[in-house]
A = this chain, B = another copy of it.
Amino acid sequence: MGRKASEPVCRAASPETRHVVIVGGGFAGINAAKALGNRKGVRVTLIDRNNYHLFQPLLYQVAMAALNGGEISYPLRKMLSMYRNITIYKGCVENVDAENRKVLTDFGEIGYDYLVLACGAKHHYFGHNEWESFAPGLKTIGQASEIRRRVMEAYERAERTQDPVEQKKLLSFVIVGGGPTGVELAGSIGEMSRYYLSKYYKNIDPRQTRIFIVHSGKRILNTFSPELSSRAARALEQLGVQIWTSSRVSGIDASGVQIGPEHIEAETVLWAAGVRATSIGKTMGFETDASNRIVVDDALSVKGHPEIFCGGDQARFELAGGEALPGLASVALQEGRAIGRNILRDIEGSPRQPFAYLDKGQMATIGKNMAIVEKGRLRLSGFPAWLVWLLVHIYFLSGFKHRFFVLLQWGWSYFTFGHAARIINREWRFYPENPDGP
């Protein structure tokens, strides 16, 4: 980069302007940034390894070829361009020197007065990292593209072979984990195989696709009420999904999935079971829980470090009963906003306010016309729930244009049952030994 790592990228903040460094441009990070945008006495540096904000709740639709990655991502620079006091760097934070109030990035050091950690979470294989190559998780657009490639490629390979046993294995999909993401993936594959793909293949019948949800708990979607969870299970079964509850995966390899003494032969395994925060909180010696989440106080700052805040999936915020808030977009969004406001209160000299989470409820979608929605005592399922799901997601998609295009894309798919983006992208690789390519 032509600069030594010890040389700071940013000038020292003038005494009257406080410098806030935000790490991560997810729901928590951008909402902290927005709360501080164009405010007096503060300037903000937002660092993210990508140049876009990702609307993660719809990532499974990219994996299932219903949307393009570009439709659920929004350039951070565009999103925050109206704020004169926000600078954005695409880069990686490698460490934090909390004593000297500096973050160490791959492009140099940046000093801060306040630090906001909002790095999110990624998949966690419970000590079996060797499973990752066989069972990718779904947290990034790259992973979504890889899942899409594996699913579509399995059908192409099944069409090419004439060995029925191999075809069966190729048309078997195991989803590990029965939370919302697992359910959404399984429901999509069920719907696609039963209602859409069948007319496009000559040698196979895609309706014979086997789809398994392998779930360690007693029932899927266990953060929902037993009634809604059961309705979702019935809807999944109607799409041909086999639900194996009380089933803990003991092995994953190229042959498929081992569940204690049982074995499922499957070419494609998808991981939707566990997430864990990045390890930076642990490295920094902060108090963390088993999922690496940093324990924060009621004002969302780190114990012993009032100048460091943490929000979103990286934070563990405990309710009065000791229960932690779940890793939901609405939690991250509210935490980010609360962090920004508490920094402003500090600067104004007023006391910080404790964070109060306003429960927005939870929802999961199984397929076209079928979802479940639960908010307090309100419980919806079927078409009404699906409509609520649709409206909420379109409303929260960042930026008007995206909402508009996704709505159109969905409308089109709804009436044609066509999957818009069903192409398999291969990355470009450089093959010097073979000028004609692979």
Contact = CB atoms under 8 A, between A and B. Distances in A.
Interface of A: 1-3, 9, 49-52, 68-71, 73-75, 77-78, 81, 87-92, 107-108, 122, 124-125, 129-130, 132-133, 136, 140-143, 145-146, 152-153, 156-157, 159-163, 165-166, 199-203, 278-279, 401, 405, 408-409, 412, 416, 418, 420-430, 432, 435-438
Contact of A77 (B9, B92, B201, B412): B201
Q: Determine how many copies of this chain the complex contains.
A: 2
Contact of A166 (B2, B69, B130, B422): B2
Given A408-B405, A423-B69, A145 B428 contact: yes
Contacts of A130: 432
B70 A436 contact: no
Contact of A3 (B161, B201, B418): B161
A152 to B, nearest CB: 7
A426 B50 contact: yes
Contacts of A405: 405, 408-409
Nearest to A78: B200
User: Which of A69, A163, A412, A435 counts the most B-chain CB atoms under 10 A from its CB?
Assistant: A435
Nearest to A106: B160
Contacts of A146: 427-428
Given A89-B160, A90-B424, A125-B435, 10 more contacts: A1-B157, A2-B166, A3-B162, A51-B156, A74-B423, A77-B201, A81-B200, A87-B203, A141-B426, A401-B416
Contacts of A73: 423
Contacts of A401: 412, 416, 418, 420
